[in-house]
A and B are shown apart, each in its own frame.
Chain A
Amino acid sequence: MIHLLIFLPLAFGLLALLRPGQARLLGLVGSGATLLLGLAGFAAFLNGADGSYQVPLLAEAGVYYAVAWDGAGVVLMLAVVVTTLIALLAARDVPPAMVGLTLLMEAGLIGILAARDLVLFYVFFEATLIPSLLMLGLYGGAGRVRALVKFAMFTLVGSLLMLAGILAVRYLGGSPSFLYGDLTAHPLAGSAGMWAFAAFLLAFMVKTPLFPLHVWLPDFHAENHPSGLADAMGTLYKVGIFGLFRWALPLFPEAFLSFQPWLLALAALTALGAAWTAYAQTDWKRLLAYGALSHMGVGALGLFSGTAEGALGAIFLLAASAVYTGSLFLFAGGLHRRFGTLDLKPTSGLAKSAPGLAALGLILVLAMVGLPGLSGFPGEFMNLLGAWQASPVWTFVGFLAVIAAAAYALGAYQQIFHNAPDKPAADMDDTEWQWGVLATLVIVFMGVYPKLFTTALQPAAEALAALIGGGR
């Protein structure tokens, strides 16, 4: 089942690359079928089937092809398959090759989430980078080379160090294989554990991202294709929090606890600083980049609390923010199609001529603000409950972002949609209605009935908290 989920988009992706003429159709069919498979996988998971499967790849080296779902993986997988479909629906006038690359990224992302062998995880983690780099390098804006070098350097430096950590954790820890179960049974203690953890941490901090390793992010988004397709996929690719949840924290609970106070501070400062910086932006994609960065800070704050509530909140927030942040990038793409610019204020009073667009924009922006009833809230709230138990002070600092978010998000929204009407524009067309309604349904459902996802997440979150001793 999981294999199909990984290889179906891979196959469709390759096919789309080979047949650029049918790329859009192949993209929609491929991602649509993957969505259905993903839903089936989720349903099966809720009924107790984790789809686990393993077969040796390099038996001598202890490397397996091992995949399975746990709560975190399966919920994030849903976010991936939904967002990919939304993105491919929304981005209709992109170069055909981007469709293929998108599907390749989808396959890689599902692999990252399902992998239960550290080497396999690493392979997926790195392989996904390739289509992402290609999209930026081939179809980015004028400053794409600079952005690409920055993105690649940060990612590669981080993950090469992690590779060293991967080797260390197995050979110094004495585990018979790279399988998750074996590795966690043979923890690497002492100073070796510290260094290995630091290597993992660096790689995942780049990918979360956390201050000060977020420097690649604003340029990455600002220079990517204006349609927002690459940005939506790039948002999904920010799997740092998941990497910490699945690998770094369970493998090095002891090292984590000694880093914890610093990590909480870093997360809180990321949350607040990014939200504040977002207020000063004049470009949609940079604004969204900083806004999403702030959310990752909140998620990391929850995760680093070491509590079940926080861990659950972090993954929920990651899944939710992938959907609404991705959708917001696509929304900005729609504005770009209308006005030819990603400037924050291409017009004003747009709600007059495009009320449908105004409504969709408001829903997406409010999800980002974390309004209860929409998908941004449950994760944020659980993060709050978890983080407070670890550090009330840093929780206060980080959650000041709640106020800042209202300021930058509503400010940006009103600049376009409110005030005296300027240049009018066409309201939503059929395609926009389709993806808009889909995104809205997901956002509202996650906000109104989070139970479906938290029930899946809870055992995984509790297991993590138990492993690192509740964080206190």
Chain B
Amino acid sequence: MLLLLILLLPLLGFVFLGFFGRQLREPLPGVIASALTGLSFLLVVAAVLSGGASWEIKDWLPGIPFSLVLDHLSGYMGLVVTGIGFLIHVYAIGYMHGDEGFSRFFAYLNFFIAMMMTLVLAGSYPVMFIGWEGVGLASFLLIGFWYTEKVNADSARKAFITNRIGDLGFLLGMALLYSLFGTLSIGELREAMESSTVLPLALGTAGLLLFVGAVGKSAQVPLMVWLPDAMAGPTPVSALIHAATMVTAGVYLIARSSFLYANLQDVSYVIAVIGLVTAAYGALSALGQWDIKKIVAYSTISQLGYMFLAVGVGAYWIALFHVMTHAFYKALLFMASGSVIHALGGEQDVRKMGGLKKYLPRTHLHGLAGALSLAGFPLLAGFWSKDAIITATLTYPFGGTGFYIAGLAVAFLTAVYAMRWYALVFLGEYRGSGKPHESPPVMTLPNDVLAVGAIFAGFLALPEPLWNFIEPYLAPALAHVETHHMSLGVEWGLIALSAVVALVGLYLGYLAFNRWTLPAWYRTFQSWSANAFYVDRVYNALIVNPLKELAFIFALFDSFLDTAFVALAGLSAWLGERLARVQAGYVRVYGALMVLGLVAVLVWGVLR
């Protein structure tokens, strides 16, 4: 029951604000929504401290219970979702101040929390799918929150449809698992798989299909195109849904299903490769963006790629570690961006910023902490988790040296674009007009908390021989994976190497975007990167538009079918008319026909 309450509180907020929100005066809807999310957080804390809980309705669908489970994995994820979610709710009270849709916004946010917690607490795949689609809907509603702009409405629909492509994979994966094991309860599947005689090919297909779902939700190559457009939503939405929580649902799905993937080497390899490609693509695209939020959005794609690299090599707990640190620093980066946009009256082009260090001292510190953590500045949260992933490519079973080198290269790019973001926004001279003003405390206080997390959260899981709280905590909920042991000297040597890479990247980024004039080849790259390598354009030309055309061809075919049936009816009418002439009413005609008929029968009889 306690678990149900975790979902029901925000859901209640959604229903209440949906019906009565417009009668309430600002900031009451925001306060209610934040309080309910905060309560949910406290309930998760209580459930985690009490060691776990579960709740279910038997036979919700025949043979499929509606089950909620709070174990170490869902508890951990639930803390991230409701905790960060609460901070972002509070921030949004300030950010959405004066917006006509203030209460609608908080209704949607609460709906999102309810659905995300359904996803996290799900004890079976269909229940997870409820949350999965629910957060997709919340994302649709919030991307298109300012729906009177066509761009926003279109981006919302694009996100939903792209996600649905992945969801079809999720659905088919469930169908396959059900046909193999007769159950979709995650716990039962885990047990069944231990003594499984099912063909590895079938299991591999199931794993791939579920992964397709994860690719859609977590914006991996090739379904990443919706996430940058999703920035059309208000900034707290970008922070909450499109950075900290929803987009990590794909990682969560794989980690939840680690008992499946730990036995699937080939599928895991595919996941790792896709993750790495995505990480590289996101980083290269982030480098050339001019929109303050789009830089962070492509960075999110890239960081999600890292998480998939981690689950791909079998380092499930490290992926979840990165989910947590990333939630802190990426939410912080988005909300710092939001503060900047807020301060500049809606300006999002970094070319019209610069020098904001002077005007927005608090936000500047937030931005700095977030950017350094993202860049992997030594000892900050992002450093420890990203380094853990890169090192894991050498020690975990499905890894390899190629992954290591590529991962390190992307880390270098990450440091460069993080510094570029910071330098263009905060350093140099202010290039815009008007006087920027610092945001109110309701916006800066949540960011203070996030900044603390972005700096210190890495200390929860340090490399050997230091302490690590997260791995042993998550271990019971994840598949056991054998790792190669690495001597401490090598391990710390590699850590030092990645620290050097990050520092060099930061320094180069500082020089490049604050000091140097860039060479011509870079400007070519810049324009490719600014357009995210034209993937959208290619998709539109090769996939989206042909499919739309095909719809009209289908419709044309349908009217052709209609005509064919009408012609058939016309034919029988015509035939009837001809035959009717035979009924002339003259005895001599009937007599002649009778004779002819008799002759025909006789001839047929003889010839036979």
A positions within 8 Å CB-CB of B: 150, 153, 212, 215, 218-219, 273, 276-277, 279-281, 308-309, 312, 349, 351-352, 359, 366, 371-373, 377-378, 381-382, 384-385, 387-389, 392, 395-396, 399-400, 402-403, 406-407, 410-411, 414, 417-421, 449-451, 454-455, 458
Contacting pair A381 B126 (CB below 8 A) = yes
Scan residues 175-189 of chain B and give those whose CB is less than 8 A from a CB of chain A: 175-176, 178-179
B566 neighbours in A (Cβ, 8 Å): 150
B512 neighbours in A (Cβ, 8 Å): none
From B38-46, B145-153, B272-280, B576-584, give the one contacting chain A. B145-153
Asked if B59 CB lies within 8 Å of chain A CBs, one says: yes
Q: How many B residues have CB within 8 A of the partner chain?
A: 47
Asked if B160 CB lies within 8 Å of chain A CBs, one says: yes
Contacting pair A388 B59 (CB below 8 A) = no
Partner of B554, one of A273, A366, A392, A395: A273
Contacting pair A276 B134 (CB below 8 A) = no
Taken together as a complex, chains A and B put the C-alpha atoms of A219 and B559 apart, in Å, by 11
Partner of B62, one of A281, A312, A399, A418: A312
B225 CB to nearest A CB, Å = 15
Partner of A414, one of B137, B153, B554, B561: B153
Q: A410-B140, A420-B148 are in contact. List 4 more A-B contacts (CB 8 A).
A: A280-B552, A372-B134, A414-B157, A418-B153
Taken together as a complex, chains A and B put the C-alpha atoms of A419 and B148 apart, in Å, by 4
Contacting pair A280 B555 (CB below 8 A) = yes
Q: Known contacts A410-B160, A418-B147, A451-B59: does B18 contact A359 (CB below 8 Å)?
A: yes
B221 neighbours in A (Cβ, 8 Å): none
Partner of A396, one of B144, B172, B174: B172
Taken together as a complex, chains A and B put the C-alpha atoms of A384 and B175 apart, in Å, by 6
* A-B CB contact pairs (8 Å), 16 listed: A153-B569, A212-B561, A277-B558, A308-B62, A359-B18, A366-B137, A372-B126, A382-B62, A384-B171, A384-B175, A385-B174, A385-B178, A385-B179, A410-B160, A419-B149, A451-B60
Asked if B164 CB lies within 8 Å of chain A CBs, one says: yes
Contacting pair A418 B144 (CB below 8 A) = yes
Contacting pair A215 B562 (CB below 8 A) = yes
- The 10 lowest CB-CB distance pairs between A and B, nearest first, are A388-B175, A418-B153, A280-B555, A279-B551, A372-B130, A418-B147, A280-B551, A277-B554, A406-B164, A280-B552
B positions within 8 Å CB-CB of A: 18, 57, 59-62, 126, 129-130, 133-134, 137, 140, 144, 147-150, 153-154, 156-157, 160-161, 164-165, 167-168, 171-172, 174-176, 178-179, 548, 550-552, 554-555, 558, 561-562, 565-566, 569
Q: Which residue of A lies closest to B100 (CB)?
A: A352
Partner of A419, one of B147, B168, B548, B558: B147
Q: Which residue of B lies closest to A386 (CB)?
A: B175
Which of B147, B154, B548 counts the most A-chain CB atoms under 10 A from its CB?
B147
Q: Which residue of A lies closest to B22 (CB)?
A: A355
Contacting pair A407 B161 (CB below 8 A) = yes
Contacting pair B550 A371 (CB below 8 A) = no
Contacting pair B161 A400 (CB below 8 A) = no
Taken together as a complex, chains A and B put the C-alpha atoms of A365 and B174 apart, in Å, by 25
Q: Which residue of B lies closest to A349 (CB)?
A: B148
Taken together as a complex, chains A and B put the C-alpha atoms of A308 and B63 apart, in Å, by 11
Taken together as a complex, chains A and B put the C-alpha atoms of A454 and B429 apart, in Å, by 67
Taken together as a complex, chains A and B put the C-alpha atoms of A273 and B569 apart, in Å, by 24
Taken together as a complex, chains A and B put the C-alpha atoms of A381 and B565 apart, in Å, by 34
Partner of B61, one of A359, A399, A451: A451
